[in-house]
């Protein structure tokens, strides 16, 4: 049966939940509407909402015209609530399962209020597996956004901020006061969007694994980290020389475009065969 936003807010305040696993729910109606509008849902979109909760965002997603909408959560009481109030048409589906175990390759738009305790893991999963996603909208803790948007040479620059720059355009959308949630979190939150680029095809999972290995020893030079990765001194020197990268630079001093070029060169079949010789 249909529900209004005040009833959603009332159910949130009456429920028992676990703050330790990031269960802080939006209770501001106009803010929830604004966040959903950022996703810019079109009638041919296949939309996925990860961690729907009691439906603060779902309520406004259902008002859009879409091809298919999938809502998701792992909390059984939440799923029962969603099934009671949000299964309003045949194009809407509700799944009880961790979104980290759901095939998201078919979706064109993804929105999620990310639990703080698995934020990085969630972003990694979405970015690597969202093969057809045109746009993401995420609600995270404000400090997380600052880390994700960090640039070359900063201490927070790393695998996630690099792959985000490689595959998308990040836009800071909103700063969200902690007063808009129940229970109230300790710090402010932020909404940001990622509009994906039309990239040439490369293995994002393998690329991210490569980046994590390169940044495993941040105090070592990029050259030394590459040596641990492919163990071929001359070939590494050839790559760095070709890309005009000093052997003295550390991982955080190299931009995302050069990282992708390094990765592609290493995974080039001709390069692989030379490394075996």
Statement to judge: residues 104 and 189 lie in one domain: yes
Question: Does residue 72 share a domain with residue 145?
Answer: yes
- Grouping H, G, I as helix, E, B as strand and the rest as coil, residue 73 is strand
Report residue 272's pLDDT band, with 50, 70 and 90 as the boundaries: low
SS3 267: coil
Is pLDDT at 274 greater than 60 in this prediction?
A: no
pLDDT in tens, 138-164: 999 999 999 999 999 999 999 999 999
Domain boundary among 148, 170, 196: 196
Alpha carbon separation from 261 to 170, 172, 181, 193 (Å, rounded): 21, 27, 43, 25
Residue 13, both tokens: 């305040």
State the Cα–Cα distance between residues 78 and 82, nearest whole angstrom: 6
Shared domain check, 155 and 258: no
- Structure confidence at residue 271 as a pLDDT band (50, 70, 90): low
Question: Cα 259 to chain center, whole Å?
Answer: 20
Residues 224 and 186 in one domain: no
Give the number of other CB atoms < 10 A from CB of residue 153: 11
Residue 20 has pLDDT above 70, yes or no: no
* Residue linked to tokens 């590494």: 236
Average pLDDT score over residue span 68-79: 95
Give residue-wise pLDDT tens across range 189-226.
999 999 999 877 899 999 999 999 999 999 999 999 99
Same domain, 209 and 191: no
Identify the domain boundary among 139, 161, 196: 196
Domain range spanning residue 210? 204-276
The CATH number of residue 180's host domain is 3.40.50.150
Q: How many domains does the chain have?
A: 2
Q: Are residues 228 and 98 in the same domain?
A: no
Look over the chain and give the mean of its residue pLDDT values, rounded to a whole number: 93
CB atoms within 10 A of CB 80: 12
């Amino acid at each position: 049966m249909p529900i209004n936003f005040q009833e959603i807010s009332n159910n949130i305040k009456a429920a028992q939940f676990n703050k330790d696993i990031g269960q802080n729910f939006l209770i501001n109606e106009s803010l929830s509407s604004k966040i959903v509008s950022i996703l810019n849902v079109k009638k041919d979109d296949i939309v996925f909402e990860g961690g729907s909760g009691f439906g603060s965002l779902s309520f406004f997603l259902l008002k859009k015209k879409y091809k298919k909408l999938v809502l998701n959560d792992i909390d059984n009481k939440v799923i029962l609530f969603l099934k009671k109030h949000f299964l309003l048409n045949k194009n809407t589906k509700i799944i009880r399962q961790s979104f980290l175990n759901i095939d998201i390759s078919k979706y064109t738009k993804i929105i999620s209020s990310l639990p703080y305790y698995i934020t990085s893991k969630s972003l990694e999963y979405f970015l690597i597996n969202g093969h057809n996603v045109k746009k993401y909208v995420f609600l995270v803790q404000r400090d997380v956004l600052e880390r994700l948007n960090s640039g070359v040479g900063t201490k927070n620059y790393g695998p996630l901020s690099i792959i985000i720059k490689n595959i998308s355009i990040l836009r800071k959308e909103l700063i969200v006061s902690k007063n808009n949630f129940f229970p109230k979190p300790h710090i402010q939150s932020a909404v940001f969007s990622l509009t994906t680029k039309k990239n040439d095809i490369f293995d994002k999972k393998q690329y991210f694994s490569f980046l994590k290995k390169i940044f495993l020893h941040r105090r070592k030079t990029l050259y030394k980290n590459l040596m641990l990765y492919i163990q071929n001194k001359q070939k590494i020197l050839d790559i760095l020389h070709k890309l005009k990268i000093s052997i003295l630079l550390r991982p955080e001093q190299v931009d995302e475009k050069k990282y992708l070029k390094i990765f592609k060169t290493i995974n080039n079949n001709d390069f692989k065969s030379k490394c075996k010789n």
